Amino acid sequence: MSGELNQVKWVGVRPVYPTENIQIQMGAFETTVGGVTRVQVNKSVIVNNTTTIIHTVTAAKVFYMVAVALCANPGVGKLSSISVRNAADVTQYTLLHLESSALQGRESSLPIFMPIAVPALYDIVLVCTNTDAHGFISGWEQAA
């Protein structure tokens, strides 16, 4: 189906979510697909031995996460993770979890081909028991 620009006309296997007209750029960006306005979200944080919220999903919206990355400095038994917490700050699931060694830091990225829907008011958090960790998320928010 080479050269087909309108994915609505696809024949055969279709994506389970609409991918038409989703541009990626840093900073705030809005686009409308099928009458639904999407606001792009690209955020990162650097933390030192603490838990930090990378993003809180806006009320009455759903955040569709499409990528996550995590890197951590060296340190014996030092842990870093990116998790999703509900509105009561209870961890629902962990996306990436790294343990550093004495001489080597760790890094990992996770492209998510079937976007993960994170409900309104949930937090995506970076937890770090290390001297330094850097977390990144990418996706979009749209009305629930």
Quote the domain boundaries for residue 121.
42-143
Beta-carbon-side half-sphere exposure of residue 130 (alpha carbons within 13 Å): 30
The answer to whether residue 15 sits within a structural domain is no
**Per-residue pLDDT tens digits for 84-111:** 999 999 999 999 999 887 778 889 999 9
**Per-residue pLDDT tens digits for 12-28:** 444 555 555 455 555 55
The answer to whether residue 101 sits within a structural domain is yes
- Is 106:41 a contact under the CB 8 Å cutoff? no
Mean pLDDT over each residue of the chain, to the nearest integer: 83
Residues whose CB is less than 8 angstroms from the CB of residue 91 and which lie 6 or more positions away in sequence, other chains included: 83, 84, 85
Lowest mean pLDDT: which of 75-89, 102-116, 121-135? 102-116
What's the CATH number where 97 sits?
2.60.120.1010
What is the pTM assigned to this prediction? 0.78
Domain count, the chain: 1
Given a cut of 50, whether residue 134 has pLDDT beyond it is yes
Q: What CA–CA distance (Å, rounded) separates 137 from 101?
A: 24
The answer to whether residue 1 sits within a structural domain is no
- Is 32:18 a contact under the CB 8 Å cutoff? no
